[in-house]
């Protein structure tokens, strides 16, 4: 246990001083009562086996004061709690083709808007990570419950290079696993990809946002199949138009068009679904369709209220003990 305001704990030094002052005072009072009783002026009121009642009220009030001091120090405990949660990684295409303006303001601009809307619609129990991919991929935000951090990561994305959908999926799996997964591309053919063991991350989701154009040699569908074996669903969002347009890359005009078929295949092999960025209803269904599961999480929680409640209970018990022993609260 730690404390947000540990300076208050110094006040606990008052308790030994109180006990040190109480013991001789109670002894003097006991001798005085005994003397009066011997002279016939008073009675001790309690037999020898009941003397503990004389001290119970003081002990309870002292314990209550100690609890109040600890509460003032704002104790923080590490506790395990059960809550509904999920992990989602947004894999966003930042290749040069995403500069195309067949959708406004650009494919990347639309991709960012789709990703930001998705984040804003997620409940607090969803961890969100962000991966940027072109010819290679990078985790720009590990999965976090801090959705504002995910939004900042999306806003910083910039363009560059070709497209490897497979790299985007693999790096998203890295983000989910929390480590770098080493995959032999030759093992990803349809016959033996299920034999590649990268662990199991059931309930996790990759949302792949891209125009679907792929310029790499690694089959994105085979990589998606590997994700499915690991229990990860891939949902895809297509950005751009099938008619396409031209985009200028290094002084050359290059034709580019959205490839929804590849995105559909990637989603299908993981039991996911393809959605067009121009389909608001489909995107809304995607955002609401993230499956939450119950999990045990460890978190630091301030438990000041528990100590305050305990102090109040001790005070009430002390008051009752005082009334029983002395006929009044002292």
The closest of 141, 148, 162 to 93, measured between CA atoms, is 162
Contact yes or no for 163/216 (Cβ under 8 A): yes
The closest of 122, 121, 236 to 172, measured between CA atoms, is 236
Residue with tokens 């962000």: 130
Secondary structure class of 19 (helix, strand, coil): helix
Could you give the C-alpha distances from 315 to 45, 58, 68, in angstroms and in order?
24, 10, 10
Length of the chain: 330
**pLDDT number for residue 55:** 77
Structure tokens given for 18: 């109180």
Domains and CATH numbers, the chain: 2-77+301-326 (no CATH), 94-291 (3.40.50.410)
What residues contact 7, with CB distance under 8 A and at least 6 apart?
73
Contact yes or no for 193/229 (Cβ under 8 A): yes
**pLDDT number for residue 81:** 72
pTM of the model: 0.70
**pLDDT number for residue 85:** 87
Q: Please, what sign has the CA dihedral across residues 104, 109, 111, 116?
A: negative
What kind and span of H or E run contains 235? strand 233-238
**pLDDT number for residue 155:** 97
Which segments of the chain have a pLDDT < 70? 25-54, 185, 189-195, 295-297, 325-330
Rg over CA atoms, the chain = 34
Structure tokens given for 127: 């961890």
Contact yes or no for 114/104 (Cβ under 8 A): no
Spatial distance between the Cα atoms of 122 and 137, rounded to a whole number of angstroms: 24
Question: In the beta sheet, which residues pair with residue 300?
Answer: 78
**pLDDT number for residue 278:** 94
The closest of 93, 283, 64 to 172, measured between CA atoms, is 93
**pLDDT number for residue 79:** 77
**pLDDT number for residue 35:** 61
The closest of 215, 218, 214, 216 to 188, measured between CA atoms, is 218
- Give tens-digit pLDDT for 247-290: 988 888 999 999 999 999 999 999 999 999 999 999 999 999 99
């Amino acid at each position: 246990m730690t404390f947000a305001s540990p300076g208050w704990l110094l006040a606990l030094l008052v308790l030994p001083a109180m006990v040190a002052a109480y013991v001789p005072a109670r002894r003097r009072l006991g001798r005085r009562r005994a003397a009066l009783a011997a002279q016939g002026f008073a009675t001790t009121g309690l037999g020898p086996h009941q003397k503990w009642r004389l001290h119970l009220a003081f002990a309870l009030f002292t314990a209550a004061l100690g609890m109040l001091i600890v509460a003032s120090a704002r104790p923080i405990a590490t506790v395990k709690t059960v809550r509904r949660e999920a992990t989602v990684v947004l894999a966003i295409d930042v290749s040069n083709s995403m500069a195309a303006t067949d959708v406004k303001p650009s494919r990347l601009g639309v991709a960012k808007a789709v990703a930001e809307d998705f984040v804003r619609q997620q409940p607090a129990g969803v961890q969100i990570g962000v991966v940027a991919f072109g010819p290679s991929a990078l985790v720009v935000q590990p999965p976090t419950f801090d959705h504002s951090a995910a939004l900042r990561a999306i806003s910083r994305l910039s363009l560059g290079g070709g497209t490897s959908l497979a790299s985007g999926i693999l790096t998203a799996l890295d983000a989910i696993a929390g480590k770098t997964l080493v995959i032999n591309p030759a093992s990803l053919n349809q016959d033996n990809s299920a034999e590649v063991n990268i662990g199991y991350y059931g309930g996790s989701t990759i949302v792949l946002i891209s125009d679907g154009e792929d310029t790499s040699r690694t089959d994105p569908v085979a990589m998606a199949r590997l994700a499915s074996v690991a229990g990860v669903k891939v949902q895809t969002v297509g950005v751009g138009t099938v008619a396409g347009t031209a985009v200028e890359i290094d002084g050359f005009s290059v034709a580019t068009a959205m490839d929804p078929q590849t995105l559909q295949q990637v989603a299908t092999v993981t039991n996911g679904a393809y959605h067009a960025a121009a389909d608001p209803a489909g995107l809304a269904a995607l955002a609401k369709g993230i499956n939450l599961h119950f999990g045990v999480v460890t978190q630091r929680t301030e438990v000041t209220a528990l100590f305050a409640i305990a102090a109040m209970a001790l005070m009430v018990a002390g008051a009752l003990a005082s009334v029983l022993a002395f006929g009044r609260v002292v």
